[in-house]
Amino acid sequence: MFFENKRVVVTGGNGFLGKNVVRTLQARGATVLIADQDRYDLRRLEDIRRALVENRPHIVIHLAARVGGIGANLAHPGEFFYDNLMMSVPLLHESWQSGVEKFVALGTICCYPKFTPVPFREDDLWNGYPEETNAPYGLAKKMLLVQSQAYRQQYGFNSVFLMPVNLYGPGDNFDPANSHVIPALIKKCVDAKNAGDDHIVVWGDGTPTREFLYVADAAEGIVLAAERYNESEPVNLGSAFEISIKELAELIVRLTGFPGKLIWDPTKPNGQPRRKLDTRRAKEKFGFESRVPFEEGLRKTIEWYVAAQAH
């Protein structure tokens, strides 16, 4: 009953994660108001203020971000830093000033140092510089954690900071210019199969490991934190499941039925060597655990993409 009669603004509510969060909130009885880029440019202070005045939220869930894979981060580091900082720091400040009851900030796994002991524990967040390919993005998001803790300390403002691992699922971004690894590989395999190609090229050497969280699970974690978590210590959201990029590519080849070969391009960057989260804090603090098994989630994502291509 927590969300009944609660007005919840979701920034980026029409995005991949946003649509899932909106559905989850609506199922809980919340009045959901979407602050998307068609109506508000959150890099502009006047648009932030207008969004808060027009929607009068009790809770703000801030999902809007400039995001992309390694290639996009390398090509646009200045934009990734500026846009993420300027749509986040003023939004939290104005939310506090306008009397918002709670602010849920979404960070990123890219906040962690490049060489973090595995599994990543929230207490290791400040023990080094992030991986260079996405440091501008990661550090811009990390400033929300600093701000969240500072505003709780000085003003008693109830804001929380969550760090989801790489997300995937139906409705993901499959644009090759800025997609992440799972949609990029699915698109390559399905398109190559349809074209009759005998191979696909994959970035790096396949040795890095990653952890992935199904998007509907991530939405559940965010909504549980909005409902139950009231501290400014950062919290990981993950599945605690680790897979190498090589194994991932081979699994996607199998699930898409692509009969060709994988050719690795070691001249392209690998990104961070390993990523796997310690997910105990989310379970202890607000009862979140991921539910969707990885292969099942991949199948659903592939089915969605194949169906989308058919239309």
57-75: pLDDT as tens digits: 999 999 999 988 788 889 9
Q: Which CATH number fits domain 7-167+212-240+274-291: 3.20.20.80, 3.10.450.40, 3.40.50.720, 3.40.50.300?
A: 3.40.50.720
DSSP string, 31-59: EEEEE-TTT--TTSHHHHHHHHHHH--SE
- Mean pLDDT over all residues of the chain? 95
Q: Is the pLDDT of residue 175 over 80?
A: yes
Q: What is residue 132's predicted lDDT score, i.e. its pLDDT?
A: 92
Among 153-162, 175-184, 259-268, which stretch is predicted with the lowest mean pLDDT? 175-184
Of the pLDDT bands very low, low, confident and very high (cuts 50, 70, 90), residue 271 is: confident
Q: Is the pLDDT of residue 178 over 80?
A: no
What's the predicted TM-score (pTM) here?
Answer: 0.94
Q: Where are the alpha helices (DSSP H) in the chain?
A: 16-27, 45-55, 70-75, 77-86, 89-97, 135-155, 181-195, 215-228, 245-256, 280-286, 294-310
Residues 197-202, mean pLDDT to the nearest whole number:
96
* Cα–Cα distance measured from residue 217 to residue 211, given in angstroms and rounded to the nearest whole number: 13
Of the pLDDT bands very low, low, confident and very high (cuts 50, 70, 90), residue 38 is: confident
Q: What is residue 26's predicted lDDT score, i.e. its pLDDT?
A: 98
Q: Is the pLDDT of residue 76 over 90?
A: yes
Of the pLDDT bands very low, low, confident and very high (cuts 50, 70, 90), residue 270 is: confident
Of the pLDDT bands very low, low, confident and very high (cuts 50, 70, 90), residue 221 is: very high
Count other C-beta atoms under 10 Å from residue 127's C-beta. Answer: 12
Residues 78-97, mean pLDDT to the nearest whole number:
97
Percent of the chain with pLDDT over 90: 88
* Cα–Cα distance measured from residue 268 to residue 261, given in angstroms and rounded to the nearest whole number: 18
* Cα–Cα distance measured from residue 192 to residue 73, given in angstroms and rounded to the nearest whole number: 26
Residues 79-83, mean pLDDT to the nearest whole number:
97
List pLDDT tens digits, range 231-247: 999 999 999 899 999 99
Q: What is residue 72's predicted lDDT score, i.e. its pLDDT?
A: 83
> Hey, which residues are catalytic here?
137
